[in-house]
Amino acid sequence: MDRTRFVNLIGEFLQDEVYLIINDELVTSTYRDLMIKPIDKPEIDGDAATLHGFHFVRREQHWKLKHITTYVHVVERFSHEVENE
């Protein structure tokens, strides 16, 4: 997906439901809520960080989104939406 399509779809993507297992319990949330009030702390390793499937890299003084790891059904849905545009 190119940058323009990503920018157009990210708001919708952030509203998708996410299912996590926290302390052996299934928790339902949205990506937006997880970014605002994370359940876990970010995993930071030097100039790389991960939080709920969002992978960031540090470039100079700023963190930039590198890629997102998500569920296959979410990728398939957004792939179909992009194809239909």
More confident residue, 79 or 53: 53
Asked if 49 and 60 count as a contact pair (C-beta separation under 8 A), the reply is no
Q: What is the DSSP string of 37-66?
A: S-SS--EEETTEEEETTEEEEEETTEEEEE
**pTM (predicted TM-score):** 0.69
pLDDT of residue 37: 85
pLDDT in tens, 26-38: 888 888 888 888 8
More confident residue, 8 or 62: 62
Nearest residue to 51 via CA among 59, 65, 62: 65
Asked whether residue 84 carries a pLDDT value surpassing 80, the answer given is no
pLDDT of residue 1: 67
